[in-house]
Amino acid sequence: MSHTARVGVFMLAALIVLGVFIVKIEEIPIGTHGSRVRFQATFPSVAGLDEKSPVRIAGVRVGIVEAISLQGDRAVATLALDPGVVLHEGARAEVTSLGMLGDKYVELFPGSPDKPPLPHGSTLAGTSPIGFDEALKSFNSAFANIDAVAGSMRATLAGPEGQKRLDEIVENIRQVTAEFRKVVEANRSNVDATLSNVRDFSQTLKTELPRLADKLVAIADHLDELIQENRGNVDASVANVKELTAQLRTTVDNINKITGKIASGEGSIGKLVSNPETTDNLNAALKSGKSAAESIKNTFGRAEGWHLDVNVRAEALPGIQKPASGVNADNSRSAFGIDLQTTPRRFYRLEYVSSPVGRTTTTTDTTTVTLPGGQSQTTTTTTVRTKNVDTFNAQIGYHLGEGFTLRAGLFESTGGVGVDRFLLKDKLRLTFEAYEFNRDVKPPHLRLETRYFLTRNLFAYAGWDDPVWKERSSVLFGGGITWRDEDFKYLLGTAASAAGR
């Protein structure tokens, strides 16, 4: 199979895959998806929720988020649901996520089946979960409160002022004891009367005690009979009581040991109670925890700002002529690569490019031969070689503002630069590239391109490639597709749902 035929087969397969992905990504209404019903849901915030995010009921995917708009200070999401989904009065929506760091989606609560169904296009009330930044703020506030309490205790009990307060407390206790003694002295007669009553009570017990003793003996005899009848149960109960008493004794011993260690300053709690240095270390640890929380917040903030685009494109170059030297030349170019956006102004591009002609080098060899007659004969041989049909783009780009982007690095495995101009809200892109400055024939290689995005993912382009070299000069036209990171999240979620079935 010739190289052109292989490229044709590759392009046909790529177009079929492209069509399938377009249907999946763009949610083109085919089959049951064409009869989806739509509802509106209002939320205080939809941070992290994107178009085509899943809509679920009890965890089961029943539709997608078709559009998101802003009305006043609230977000309004249009929900496209499968035809069999019925919502009732009282239905509501909630923005949630799969796990702690999973993708955001909309969870629907369809309401009680006893209530009337809602008409299509109704608006549902929505709620949003607490954000990661709000949780960090609460965490920082808690640390600040603990730090303030520790500082207040240290300021109250440390130094001469704290010692003075403790002395005042001891003096107050002494005064209360003295006042209690005075009260007892003042009520001596009442105390004597109480003792007299106790004496009379003891005389009553002396006369009544024998009769009570006879009754107790009778009760004891009765109890003895009961014990003899229930000896087995009593023995088991006594054993349980003994075991419980032993456990209580062990627990009390452990408590005494713990309180003794705390009182002597042993262990973390003992040091916290008796050692001011431990309190200082605790304050330092709380400050370190606050710094760590700030670092975690900043790290997540940077990672959330990254964006990844995957690009596939193919183009035709009908004007390329086959050189007379017989060097292979193709009439198409294809590329596959990624763009990683690390900051709002900087990105990195890495692509594999199948070049139509590769890199051409010309070598001239001069040979001088001395003939038998003493004459010299010089022969010059010029060799043209083509290599590295498979090339790479490795570039760094900067957004300069006003719709301009500057790129520099490797263009088809050689050094070069490029400038992009974005128009019509980034739907139209004009590109100029220059590379292969050191090639033997008519350097550098120039490329002019106009690209238009038919949808968010699908684009077509046309232009002029290598206008300075007649044999390589050609108009170009082609198309491609780009997948963004949110598209990959949707595709992965679709694949996981299909595998679950």
Taking only the tens place, the pLDDT of each residue in 334-368 is 999 999 998 889 999 999 998 887 666 666 777 77
| Residue pair 478/313 in contact by the 8 Å Cβ criterion | yes
Distance between CA atoms of residues 420 and 428, nearest Å: 10
Domain annotation covers residue 183? no
Share of the chain above pLDDT 70, in %: 74
CB proximity list for 484: less than 8 A, separation 6 or greater: 307, 308, 309, 456, 457
pLDDT category at 294 given cuts 50, 70, 90 is: low
Of the listed ranges 29-43, 142-156, 290-304, 370-384, the least confidently predicted one is: 290-304
Distance between CA atoms of residues 296 and 284, nearest Å: 18
Distance between CA atoms of residues 454 and 484, nearest Å: 15
Q: How far apart are the first and last CA of the chain?
A: 41
Q: Which of 376, 369, 367, 337 is nearest to 354 (CA)?
A: 337
The first and second tokens of residue 140, run together, are 């920082």
The first and second tokens of residue 137, run together, are 């703020």
Which of the pair, 286 or 481, is modelled with greater confidence?
481
DSSP code of 337?
A: E
In whole angstroms, how far apart are CA 267 and each of 259, 273, 304, 465? 11, 10, 43, 78
CA dihedral 32, 37, 42, 45 (to 10 degrees): 10
CB proximity list for 311: less than 8 A, separation 6 or greater: 335, 336, 337, 338, 339, 351, 480, 481, 482
Dihedral sign, Cα of residue 243, residue 247, residue 253, residue 257? positive
pLDDT category at 4 given cuts 50, 70, 90 is: confident
Domain annotation covers residue 48? yes
Distance between CA atoms of residues 449 and 453, nearest Å: 13
Domain annotation covers residue 182? no
Domain annotation covers residue 159? no
pLDDT tens-digit map of 231-277: 777 677 667 767 777 777 787 677 777 777 766 766 665 655 566 66
CB proximity list for 494: less than 8 A, separation 6 or greater: 24
Phi then psi dihedrals of residue 445, to 5 deg = -85, 120
Q: Is the pLDDT of residue 326 over 60?
A: no
Domain that holds residue 97: 3-25+37-129
Q: Is the pLDDT of residue 300 over 60?
A: no
Which of the pair, 430 or 11, is modelled with greater confidence?
430
What would the mean pLDDT of 113-129 be, rounded to a whole number? 89
Domain annotation covers residue 434? yes
Phi then psi dihedrals of residue 477, to 5 deg = -155, 145
Domain annotation covers residue 248? no
Q: Which of 129, 148, 165 is the last residue of a domain?
A: 129
Domain annotation covers residue 286? no
Predicted confidence at residue 383, as pLDDT, reads 67
- The model carries a pTM of 0.42
Distance between CA atoms of residues 328 and 271, nearest Å: 83
Q: Which of 103, 83, 60 is nearest to 497 (CA)?
A: 60
Q: Is the pLDDT of residue 125 over 60?
A: yes
Q: Which of 349, 338, 313, 353 is nearest to 484 (CA)?
A: 338
Distance between CA atoms of residues 170 and 162, nearest Å: 13
pLDDT tens-digit map of 195-209: 788 788 777 877 877
Q: Is the pLDDT of residue 29 over 60?
A: no
Q: Is the pLDDT of residue 498 over 60?
A: no
pLDDT category at 325 given cuts 50, 70, 90 is: very low
Of the listed ranges 104-108, 176-180, 376-380, the least confidently predicted one is: 376-380
Domain annotation covers residue 152? no
Q: Is the pLDDT of residue 224 over 90?
A: no
Distance between CA atoms of residues 287 and 501, nearest Å: 50
Count the domains in the chain.
2
Distance between CA atoms of residues 26 and 377, nearest Å: 71
Q: Is the pLDDT of residue 151 over 50?
A: yes
H or E element that contains 219: helix 188-229
Average pLDDT, the chain: 79
Q: Which of 129, 155, 175 is the last residue of a domain?
A: 129
- Output the domain CATH number for residue 330: 2.40.160
Predicted confidence at residue 489, as pLDDT, reads 64
Q: Which of 129, 153, 180 is the last residue of a domain?
A: 129
Place of tokens 């539709």: 63
Is residue 217 left, alpha or beta, with left meaning phi > 0 and alpha meaning psi from -120 to 50?
alpha
Cα 171 off chain centre by: 60
Q: Is the pLDDT of residue 297 over 50?
A: yes
Cα 348 off chain centre by: 22
Angle at CA of residue 51, ends 50 and 54, nearest 5°:
85
CB proximity list for 428: less than 8 A, separation 6 or greater: 422, 450, 451, 452, 453
pLDDT category at 397 given cuts 50, 70, 90 is: very high
Beta partners for 478? Answer: 315, 461
Share of the chain above pLDDT 90, in %: 27
Predicted confidence at residue 324, as pLDDT, reads 44
CB proximity list for 158: less than 8 A, separation 6 or greater: 276
